[in-house]
Structure 1
């Protein structure tokens, strides 16, 4: 009985400490449906991209430059330069940005840690790992990302902390 109580207290202490030391972002095990994965694959074939790798969650990526050193994690404050576009070629955003990686869409959360500081990557993200069935509007109320869109990001990771 004494060992059982001691073990229970150790578990409480371990999990309590683990929660306090994190940044509040957790790993998700979201996987895009096979139909969405196929749509991304078909898009890549249509633009003659055959060397893209597929992540187990269903997005595709091309590492253009690895970078150097460690890779960011969900708690990392990242700085990057990126262009986001739709499969139609329409650019919905192009800018330099800084944010906590864990606060971004799932495809970026999983894709950006593939590279290190100074690295470049191109991500092809199915809707489930992006905005899903939600449309994204600009400040004027114009839809810039239609619902169920595949997103393409060309990213350079300039720094992370």
Structure 2
């Protein structure tokens, strides 16, 4: 009887003791030495505007429809995210199609910049790290560094739909 109980409890004990917190995981260094968005903008042929005094730089390629998303909107967008050295870190593609996001669940740079355009609109956002992920690096599910800490980001966005 004792052995049977022990055999039934053993898997539960192994599972519980193996479930440590993410704080126990040693993640690889996640650093980068890309140029600032100011330097990126200065080297570009596009004339960017700054949104108030937020540090967000933008260029509207096409303003799209008159209706604009709000902070409570869900948006469908095609986009390409690059570092200021031109390296792509994320993008939608024709196979998977556009991505759907609640504006309230994305980085602040998107929350501020995407409402500047309507459906069908296109915008380039130069997002300072403070309006992106700040000092927190981002890792993928395999613990590979995707976005280093303090990274300024560039997004080319086409707003397909506002929901």
TM over 0.5: yes
State the shift of 1:46 in Å: 2.4
- Give the paired residue count: 122
Q: 1:146 aligns with which of 141, 145, 148?
A: 148
Counterpart Cα distance in 1 of 2:37 and 2:68: 26
Counterpart Cα distance in 1 of 2:142 and 2:85: 22
Unaligned runs of 5+ in 2: 1-35, 93-97
The corresponding residue for 2:85 is 88
Q: 1:58 aligns with which of 55, 58, 72?
A: 55
State the shift of 1:89 in Å: 1.1
- The answer to whether the 8 A contact 2:37-2:153 is kept is no
The corresponding residue for 1:117 is 119
- When the two chains are superposed, the root-mean-square deviation of aligned CA atoms in Å is 1.0
Counterpart Cα distance in 2 of 1:90 and 1:41: 17
The corresponding residue for 1:73 is 70
Counterpart Cα distance in 1 of 2:118 and 2:139: 31
Greater C-alpha Rg: 2
The corresponding residue for 2:139 is 137
- Deviation track 1:103-157 (CA, whole Å, cap 9, x = no partner) reads 1100000000000000000000000000000111112111111100010000000
Runs of 4+ displaced beyond 6 Å: none
Give TM-score, length-normalised by structure 1.
0.73
